Amino acid sequence: MPLTDAVKDYARSHGAHLVGVAPVERFEGAPVGHHPADLLPGAKSVVVVAIRLFQSCLDHPRISAGSEIIPEESLPGVQRHFYRRTNYETVNWSLQIVSHQIAYLLAEAGNEVMPCPVTYYQGGLSSTVPGYFAPLSHRHAAVAAGLGTFGLNNLVLSPRFGPRNRFNSIITTAELQPDEMLAEDVCRGEDCRICLDAWPECFGELHDLEMNGRSFRMARMFGCKAGCGGGGCIRVCPVQRKIKSA
């Protein structure tokens, strides 16, 4: 079995809901220090995996509403806890584990490999980094690997899950078969704007991002604010609220 097929089959059988491959050439123009080859000299490919999120857990503001046990003033904290454990921490650890397993497979085939960490949690290390910038943008990697397209809210929407997915990346010197980037936008764009209108304090002016011959319309993002409780712009998005079957 060709290595690319083996990697994808392995990823899917070990918990990834989506997997794609991008050649490093698609990262041209990345900030210095953030190109895959800056992180792993000789890099040829980036494998990107995704795990879906549950809409039921994104709808955390309704959890235990009207509880006879939990005081009303404590509910927001309980609801955020529910969301963070189910749709953030567990998903992040699952992504980290499957990424390392893929890295071992690539390494055993004789390649250099770097499994990247998932994006750090808001309030941790990210609080010391303006703009929440990470060593490698998993969102840009996901678009480059053909898993989705950027939406107005800066998130990557996949055809199957909309914005309800999180991503992680594995950089390797293996020259894998790349996937095509998506030709059509998944986001409904300015005809929709539900995410921007729901949380105007989180977003600024619209601009265009150019990437590998594609242009993506998106809003400047100021970061997740306390008002949405976490995942608000994902929660209200109408794209694939009901997940398509595989």
Give 211-242 pLDDT, tens digit per residue. 999 999 999 987 776 567 678 899 999 999 87
Show Cβ contacts of residue 87 under 8 Å, excluding neighbours closer than 6 positions. 53, 54, 57, 58, 231
- SS3 of the chain: helix, strand, coil, percent, to 5: 40, 20, 40
**Domain contains 245:** no
**pLDDT of amino acid 221:** 84
User: 107 vs 17, 95, 115, 181, 187, CA distance in Å?
Assistant: 22, 18, 11, 26, 36
Q: Please give the average per-residue pLDDT across 10-20, as a whole number.
A: 97
Question: How far is the C-alpha of 18 from the C-alpha of 95, rounded, in Å?
Answer: 11
Is residue 181 one of the residues assigned to a domain?
yes
Res 235: pLDDT: 92
How many domains does one find in the chain? 1
pLDDT at site 128: 56
Structural domain of 222: 3-235
What is the C-alpha to C-alpha distance for residues 236 and 195, in angstroms, rounded to an integer? Answer: 6
How far is 32 from 116, CA to CA, in rounded Å? Answer: 17
Query: Does residue 197 form part of some domain?
Result: yes
Three-state DSSP at 148 gives coil
Residue 191 is assigned to a structural domain of this protein: yes
Give a yes or no: residue 243 inside a domain.
Answer: no
Does 246 reside within a domain?
no
117 belongs to a structural domain: yes
Residue 13 lies in a domain: yes
d(CA 222, CA 219): 9
pLDDT at 91: 95
- Kindly report the pTM of this predicted structure: 0.92
